[in-house]
Amino acid sequence: MNSLSPALRSALTASTDDRIFYDLAGIARRCTALLDELPGVAVRFAMKACPVDEVLAELASLGAGFDAAGPQEIAQALRTGVPADRVHYGNTVKSDRGIAEAYRLGIRTFATDSLPDVTAIARHAPRSRVFCRLATDGEGALWGLSRKFGCSPADAVRVLTAARDAGLTPAGLSVHVGSQQLTSKAWSAAFDLLGEVLLDLRRHGIELDHLNLGGGLPALGYLDRHGAALDPPLDEIFHTVRQGVDELRRLHGGALDFVLEPGRHLVADHGAVRAHVYRLTSRQQLDGEHEHWLYLSCGKFNGLYEMDQLQYRLVFPTHPDPAPDPVPAVVAGPTCDSDDTFPHTRTTGRTPVPRTLASGDPVWILSTGAYAVSYLTQGFNGFTPLPHTVLRPDPDPST
């Protein structure tokens, strides 16, 4: 309960139907705090984390730009009014048609990690800027992102040399330390990698103008698989990033710009789902053990796709907290799909829930502001996607 802003708590209390709420003021505060922690580092919000127009517009008003994965996201970003030079095509997986459409929309900065992609960019987005994504191992993150994207240091030199030869501007390098990165060591390793490749590129006559540090900054409100707060070392991470930025600027004449692509860090803790209880049941399993199951109206296919890796904090507002005599329950969503089950409760323990829960009781699912909307299905198994409401700050009566 203490992690909820007054705006979210009020909206959740008043709601009688299932939906996700976003606290716009909370998102703005988190963005402002990030800009204060990392001065001189530009923010390009990873749109996939929360493609909600009001959220994008608020971030744009604070000076953020956008990391877009395709023409549809590019068009949505531009509708906020940001200039095209604050939007980049950050996906290394692109079709020829996608590149051409992005170029038509005014995009002139493209991510890449392969020679065929460079050839396509040169053909369909001539004289554009490219930055090459380096592969990382993703250790320490809930999602490592270590295989689909990024190339080796040697390949990066080949890719950016080919870009120069094709009439493109080899502008930068990028890394991604993994989504919900819980260590500062990953950031240290990323800066070491960037420094090594920068020096190698210089030996090949290529001087870059920026480095993209990618995403990975953690949200703060998730639980670990034992129900305790994850407590990521955010201050230590910020200190490591500031040190890395300062060192690379010192080694390379101070001319380098830096870009960061936060996603869940800005929005996760400022969204919450109002759902309800379907049923609290007890069934005898094949091994003879009786097991409690808590079925909720919201699960993997209608808002909580990331529950394979995350444990969300559940609040039962009409019951005492903590519950005086809880039962350990497996928590699951409403669909006829066995994957629609919180894996941490299925494999490593159970979630203590009030034994007096009844069908229809409200449940609040916290820190759901990232990816809940973007991962919604169109109605798998007949369960409709969550609607969303953006909570705007009350006007200042003194103005």
Any idea which residues carry the catalytic annotation?
336
**Backbone dihedral angles phi then psi of residue 201, each to the nearest 5 degrees:** -65, -40
Q: Which residues contact 288 (CB under 8 A, 6 or more apart)?
A: none
Residue 3 CA to residue 339 CA, distance in Å, equals: 29
Q: Which residues contact 178 (CB under 8 A, 6 or more apart)?
A: 136, 138, 139, 140, 141, 142, 143, 144, 145, 146, 186, 216
Altogether, the residues listed in the chain come to a count of 399
Q: What does the block give as tokens for 149? A: 């994207």
Q: What does the block give as tokens for 155? A: 């390949």
Q: Before 322, cis peptide (omega within 30)?
A: yes
Residue 288 CA to residue 12 CA, distance in Å, equals: 39
CA max distance for the chain: 71
Residue 263 CA to residue 215 CA, distance in Å, equals: 7
Q: Are 266 and 31 in contact (CB under 8 A)?
A: yes
Residue 198 CA to residue 206 CA, distance in Å, equals: 9
Q: What is the dihedral of CA 220, 221, 227, 233, to 10 degrees?
A: 10
Other Cβ atoms closer than 10 A to 258: 18
Q: What is the 3-state secondary structure (H, E, C) of 174-205?
A: ECCCCEEECCCHHHHHHHHHHHHHHHHHHHCC
